Amino acid sequence: MKQADPSAALAAMLTRWWNKMAGGMHVAFPCKVISYQAATNRASLQPLTRTTNAEPAIIEHVSVLGQRYMINGYETTCIPYVKAGDIVLVVCSDRELKNAQTGKVSKPDSSRMHDVNDAVIVGVFPWSL
């Protein structure tokens, strides 16, 4: 009778655990813009990567990052604009973004990390422009 290798069993268990943990962490992923509200600079998005058998849930109220440039000595602010159907790249913050809006250093109000509730649109893919 062949004996089980405890180190192989432990390695397999740790691999399954890591895959489960990493699968729940969101870093960056493509989405399709469902709608955009220019007044609030927020969009509703459909993630384009399926990680389970279920359809990915719509992500609501995602901010679009703007840009500030210095062109020929003049400061110019570029207000973002996305439209339904655009394919965008979304990044999830390491920690919640709510308190960052104050501009002050503070502790997060929750323990969430890399959560879609803290997603921001960082740009539109070139094939959507």
Specify the pLDDT at position 100.
80
How far, in Å, CA of 52 to CA of 119, rounded? Answer: 20
The tokens for 72 are: 């020929």
Q: What is the pLDDT along the chain (129 residues), one digit of tens a residue?
A: 567 777 777 777 777 766 666 556 678 999 999 999 999 999 999 999 887 888 999 999 999 999 999 999 999 999 889 999 999 999 998 888 877 878 888 888 787 887 888 899 999 999 988
Q: Per CATH, is 26-128 categorized as 3.40.50.300? A: no
Query: DSSP assignment, residue 70?
Result: E
Residue 82: other Cβ atoms inside 10 A: 21
Distances in whole angstroms, Cα of residue 18 to Cα of each of 29, 93, 96, 113, 121: 20, 21, 23, 16, 27
Specify the pLDDT at position 73.
95
